[in-house]
Amino acid sequence: AVKVAGKGHHRFYQPELFEVIRQRRDIEQNLVAALEEDQFTVYYQPRVDALTGEMCSMEALVRWIHPQQGMVPPLEFIPVAESSGLIAQLGARVIDMVCQQLAQWKSLGLELLPVSINVSAHQFGRGDVDRVLAVALARYGIEGRWIEVEITESAMMGDQNDALGQLAAIRSQGVRLLVDDFGTGYSSLSQLQKFAMDGLKIDRAFTLELGKSKQGEVFIRAILSMAHALGMSVVAEGVETVQQLEILRALQCNEVQGYLISRPVPAEQMLELMRKRFLIDLPEPVLASYCA
């Protein structure tokens, strides 16, 4: 977008706003057709144990393969799906595809790994995610322990419905709960405990600071000590460099995810990664204090 940067602020040209509105409307119309014609697929990105480099789970990331435009990034259509209400249908479709994929891997005799699924605020706000999950799990004969649900802090805190009750209903199926993009919202210690979250995914923005500023390390160290004290496991998102990985290992972060290990890949490629299991060669961790 063309923007004019003034002193400490940006000004957007008015015509651009209309352009954005027009694009949104186009995407919305296209989304309806895309759901009817089943143009969505799911890519998978591994999460590895920070100590051993062994894959321990993976994240399901929706992909829209438009017949003319090719792959449309989620950040372009998820917000539109949310504001138009189409997210419920799309979200249910993703949950179904993931359970179907797990059943296929199981039929190939593979040892399954948990798959985390993103559930956005509006989806969660409808209050039926627990039932959508139950239906898909039953349909493919998959146990709840193979699914994790990622929700953001703001989705958790939203007051449209009984968030606590819904999270409990999801959890009662053996599904684990993770806070996504942790550090960007406003959840408190007591809330994390009240909502019985199993783990935290530290937002990529904080990983990006590692090795650049002492602040980055201080922040992650604080999250880790808090999470571990509450019995939660911690995943660092967006790990792209060996240096970031080394610092995270020294700080005893539990799991890492990012382009350094693997980009999100189609299911067929994930099959190869599952067979390989150890995705990155790691030396003995240095437990030295990075934060002296």
Which stretches of the chain bind ligand C2E, using CB under 6 A? Answer: 45, 61-62, 73-75, 78, 91, 94, 118-120, 123, 150, 180-181, 204, 237-240, 257-259, 264
Of 257 and 289, the one with the shorter C-beta distance to ligand C2E is 257
Residues 142-181 that bind Mg ion (CB under 5 A): 150, 180-181
The residue within the footprint of Mg ion, chosen from 118, 120, 166, 257 (CB under 5 A), is 118
First vs last C-alpha separation in the chain: 42
CB of 15 to ligand C2E, least distance (A): 28
- Nearer residue to ligand C2E within complex by CB, 62 or 113: 62
Please report how close the Cβ of residue 255 comes to Mg ion at its closest, in angstroms.
13
CB of 126 to ligand C2E, least distance (A): 12
Among residues 32 and 291, whose Cβ is nearest to ligand C2E? 32
CA proximity to 187, closest of 205, 206, 170, 163? 163
Q: In angstroms, give the least distance from the CB of 68 to Mg ion.
A: 28
Closest distance to ligand C2E from the beta carbon of 97 (Å): 9
**Quick check: 58 and 46 in contact, CB under 8 A?**
yes
Shortest reach from residue 42's CB to ligand C2E, in Å: 7
Which of Mg ion, ligand C2E, none does residue 209 bind (CB under 5 to 8 Å by kind)? Answer: none
CB of 234 to ligand C2E, least distance (A): 15
Size of the site for Mg ion (CB under 5 A): 5
> How many helical (H) and strand (E) elements, i.e. helices and strands, does the chain have?
12, 12
Exposure string of 174-207, with b = 16+ CB inside 10 Å and e = fewer, is ebbbbbbbbbeeebeeebbeebebebbbbbbebb
The span from the CA of 37 to the CA of 16, in Å, is: 31
Binding string, 75-114, against Mg ion, x = CB under 5 A? ----------------------------------------
Pairing type for strands 147-152 and 115-118 reads parallel
Identify whether the C-beta of residue 245 lies closer than 8 Å to the C-beta of residue 211.
no
Q: Name which of 40 and 140 has its Cβ closer to ligand C2E.
A: 40
**According to the binding rule CB under 5 A, does residue 45 interact with Mg ion?**
no
Work out the burial of residue 50: count CB atoms within 10 Å of its CB; fewer than 13 is exposed, 13-18 middle, 19 or more buried: buried
Q: In whole angstroms, give the CA distance from residue 121 to residue 273.
A: 31
Closest approach of Mg ion to the CB of residue 40, in Å: 17
Nearer to ligand C2E, 71 or 287 (CB): 71
Restricted to residues 198-257, the positions that interact with Mg ion (CB under 5 A) are 237
Measure the CA–CA gap between 114 and 101, rounded to whole angstroms.
12
Three-class secondary structure of residue 250 per DSSP: helix
Compute the distance between CA of residue 88 and CA of residue 78 in angstroms, rounded to an integer: 11
CA distance 49 to 55: 6
Nearer residue to ligand C2E within complex by CB, 86 or 274: 86
Specify whether the CB–CB gap between 97 and 132 falls below 8 A.
no
Nearer to ligand C2E, 129 or 169 (CB): 129
> Which residues of this chain interact with Mg ion, rule CB under 5 A?
118, 150, 180-181, 237
